[in-house]
A and B are shown apart, each in its own frame.
Chain A
Amino acid sequence: MSSQHEHAGSDAWQAFCALQQQARIEKHRVWILGGVVFLALFLTSAYLSHFSPGRIAEGLPKVHEYIGKILPELGVATFRQDMAYWFYAFPDWMVLLGETLLMAYVATLLGTFGAIVLGFVAARNVGPSRGSTILARRLLEVARTVPDLVYALIFVFAFGLGPLAGILAIAIHSMGASGKLFSEAIENIDLKPLDGLKAAGANWVQGMRFAVFPLVAPSLVSYSLWRFEINVRTATVMGIVGAGGIGQELITAIRMLYYSDISALILLIVISVSLTDMLCERIRHGFIGKENLS
Chain B
Amino acid sequence: MTLAFRGDLSVAQVERDYPEIFAVSWRRRLIHGLSWGISLAMLLYGLVIFDFSPMRLWDGLGQLGMLVRFMVPPATEPALVWEFLKAIFETLAMAFIGTFFAALLAVPFAFLSARNVFRFRLGRFGIRRSMDFLRGVDQLVWALIFVRAVGLGPLAGVLAIIISDIGTLAKLFSESVEGCDRKPGEGVAASGGSTLQCTRFGILPQALPMFISSTLYMFESNVRSATILGIVGAGGIGYQLSERIRGHHWEEVATILILILVTVYLIDWVSGKIRGRLIEGE
Q: Point out residues on A near B: beta carbons under 8 Å.
A: 41-42, 44-51, 55-56, 58-59, 62-63, 65-66, 102-103, 105-106, 109, 142, 145-147, 149-150, 153-155, 157-160, 162-164, 167, 233-234, 236-237, 240-241, 244, 250-251, 254, 262, 266, 269-270, 273-274
B residues near A160, Cβ cutoff 8 Å: 56, 60
Assess the B50–A145 pair: CB atoms within 8 A. no
Chain B nearest Cβ from A26, distance in angstroms:
13
| Known contacts A49-B158, A145-B260, A269-B137; A158 and B67 CB within 8 A of each other | yes
Assess the B52–A164 pair: CB atoms within 8 A. yes
Q: How far is the CA of A103 from the CA of B49 in the complex (A)?
A: 10
Interface presence of B14 (CB below 8 A) = no
B127-150: which have CB < 8 Å to A?
A: 132-133, 136-138, 140-141, 144-146, 148-150
Identify the closest chain A residue to B154 (Cβ): A49
B residues near A153, Cβ cutoff 8 Å: 231, 241-242, 245
Report the 6 A-B pairs with minimum CB-CB distance, sorted nearest first: A48-B93, A45-B93, A159-B60, A59-B150, A106-B46, A270-B136
Interface presence of B235 (CB below 8 A) = yes
A residues near B227, Cβ cutoff 8 Å: 147, 150
Assess the A41–B141 pair: CB atoms within 8 A. no
Assess the B144–A44 pair: CB atoms within 8 A. no
Contact of A48 among B50, B89, B242, B245 (CB under 8 A): B89
Chain A nearest Cβ from B127, distance in angstroms:
15
B residues near A146, Cβ cutoff 8 Å: 257, 260-261
Q: Point out residues on B near A: beta carbons under 8 Å.
A: 39, 42-43, 45-47, 49-52, 56-57, 59-61, 63-64, 67, 89-90, 92-94, 96-98, 100, 132-133, 136-138, 140-141, 144-146, 148-150, 153-155, 157-159, 224-225, 227-228, 231-232, 235, 241-242, 245, 253, 257, 260-261, 264-265
Assess the A269–B136 pair: CB atoms within 8 A. yes
| Known contacts A147-B225, A147-B228; A237 and B138 CB within 8 A of each other | yes
- Main secondary structure, interface of A, reads helix
Assess the B60–A158 pair: CB atoms within 8 A. yes
Interface centre among A105, A158, A244, A254 (most CB of B within 10 A): A158
Interface centre among B43, B93, B235 (most CB of A within 10 A): B93
Assess the A254–B96 pair: CB atoms within 8 A. no
Contact of A66 among B42, B94, B148 (CB under 8 A): B148
Q: How far is the CA of A127 from the CA of B150 in the complex (A)?
A: 51
Identify the closest chain A residue to B227 (Cβ): A147
A residues near B98, Cβ cutoff 8 Å: 49
Assess the A50–B56 pair: CB atoms within 8 A. no
Assess the A164–B232 pair: CB atoms within 8 A. no
Chain B nearest Cβ from A245, distance in angstroms:
11
B residues near A65, Cβ cutoff 8 Å: 149
